[in-house]
Structures are given as C-alpha cells and as structure tokens.
C-alpha cells in the first residue's frame, strides 16, 4: 500500500501565507470574581469570603488612577502569585475587567480557580504534589524562572508525563489551606519552540595542486 499525494483542493492556495500556530506562553494565574476597593497599599478583594488586601501591578495602578472601580460591581480578576513554601503567597492583581456574564447565582460564591502553563519538574506521589517551573517568555516581564507547587490526587499524578515535558494545569485555589489543588493536567507544548542547533559550516576542500 502506498501513500497518496495530497488532495490539491485541501492545499493552501498559491501565494497565501500559512497562519502561524498559536503559542501558549508560560504563565501562572489565579482567577476569581470580586468587588474592588482601592486602598493605600493596593486593592481590597474578596478571596473566597475573606476581605484581603493585595498589591497591584503598575499597569493596574494606572488604570485605577484613571478610573475608580464601581463600589458594587463584580470584576473578573487575575492575579500573579508565588508558592515559596508550597502554599499561595504574595498575590498581585495583574488584570481586571467586568465579567461578560454572571455565572453565579445571587449569594453564591464562585470558587477561585487557577491556570498554569509550565514545565513539569518534580512528581511527589508520596506527598501528593507536583512542582512545575514557569519560565520567562521572550516578550514578557518575567526575568527569572520560578517554581509552583500544586497538590493533586494520586490518580492524576500517575497519568503525568515524565519530568521535563510542558503542560497546562487547571484547578482550584483553596484560600483556607492556601493550596492549589489540580483537577486536570493537559500535556501541551508551552512556550516558544527551542531553535535547532545550527550545523557546523562546511570547510572547502582544496586539492594539493591548487595550493601551488
């Protein structure tokens, strides 16, 4: 059995450029919905049901200075964070906007969620967590890689690819314990593809007769 040539009707027309595949950048975001209140050291938000004061990025500070948030308005918030001891610390508001639609009923509290695009660094099945590494992107603000610890059930840990592979991690942030708890791992290429090494240049061969 031989391979058939590609169907010309499905081939891109001559002169048309192929679209570049979408690149998923390295990232680590915590997402929740809350009102915003500007305070001296940043903003006050509801993390779960607890009022919490967090820092803001320079970009967010400029937006807040240009237009104060509505007192009763719910906002979709995205935070940068770190997990230096395995638990979420150092929340910083990186982006906010009014949600397109209300997904919660009146009085219902939406669970804080997280999304991470990173490289798998360590799988600890005995303790029930993984460590992933978020690397800098070419056009991003991050200058140094950092690790994030995520807790997960054993059945999820057993299905993970080997360390060194990239993946997306989705789950819930639990403010009472400070843990990120994974609900899904999706192996996927994250970040800019690494350039292939350039082959060494060929050295022209000269015959003995050409050297005289």
The two structure tokens encoding residue 165: 């592979």
pLDDT digit string, tens, across residues 49-95: 899 999 999 999 999 999 999 988 999 999 999 999 999 999 999 99
Spatial neighbors of 60 by CB under 8 A, at least 6 apart, are 43, 93, 94, 95, 96
Summarize pLDDT for 160-190 with one digit per residue, the tens: 999 999 999 999 999 999 999 999 999 999 9
Per the CB < 8 A criterion, the answer to whether 176 and 158 are in contact is no
How far from 29 is each of 32, 136, 202, CA to CA, in Å?
Answer: 10, 14, 47
141-167: burial string, b at 16+ Cβ within 10 Å, e else: eeeeebbbbbbbeeebbeebeeeeebb
Helices (H) and strands (E) in the chain, counts: 2, 11
d(C-alpha 58, C-alpha 56), whole Å: 7
Q: Scan for tokens 């906002």, then name that residue.
A: 75
pLDDT at residue 204 is higher than 70 = no
Taking the CA atoms of residue 154, residue 155, residue 160 and residue 162 in that order, the dihedral angle to the nearest 10 degrees is 60
Cβ atoms of 181 and 152 closer than 8 Å: yes
Among 143, 58, 67, 57, smallest CA distance to 94 is for: 57
Q: Quote the tokens at residue 53.
A: 């004061």
- The answer to pTM > 0.75 is yes
Mean pLDDT confidence for 135-139: 89
């Amino acid at each position: 059995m031989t391979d058939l040539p590609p169907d010309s009707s499905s081939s891109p027309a001559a002169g048309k450029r192929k679209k570049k595949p979408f690149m998923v950048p390295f990232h680590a975001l915590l997402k929740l919905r809350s009102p915003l209140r500007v305070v001296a050291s940043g903003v006050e938000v509801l993390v779960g049901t607890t009022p919490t004061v967090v820092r803001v990025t320079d970009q967010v500070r400029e937006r807040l200075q240009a237009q104060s948030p509505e007192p009763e308005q719910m906002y979709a918030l995205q935070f940068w964070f770190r997990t230096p001891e395995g638990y979420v610390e150092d929340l910083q508001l990186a982006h906010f906007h009014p949600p397109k639609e209300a997904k919660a009923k009146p009085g219902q509290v939406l669970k804080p969620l997280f999304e991470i695009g990173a490289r798998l660094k360590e799988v600890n099945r005995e303790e029930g967590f993984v460590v992933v590494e978020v690397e800098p992107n070419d056009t991003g603000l991050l200058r140094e890689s950092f690790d994030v610890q995520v807790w997960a059930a054993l059945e999820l840990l057993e299905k993970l690819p080997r360390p060194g592979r990239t993946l997306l991690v989705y789950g819930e942030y639990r403010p009472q314990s400070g843990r990120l708890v994974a609900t899904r791992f999706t192996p996927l290429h994250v970040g800019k593809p690494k350039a292939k090494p350039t082959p060494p240049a060929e050295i022209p061969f000269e015959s003995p007769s050409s050297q005289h």
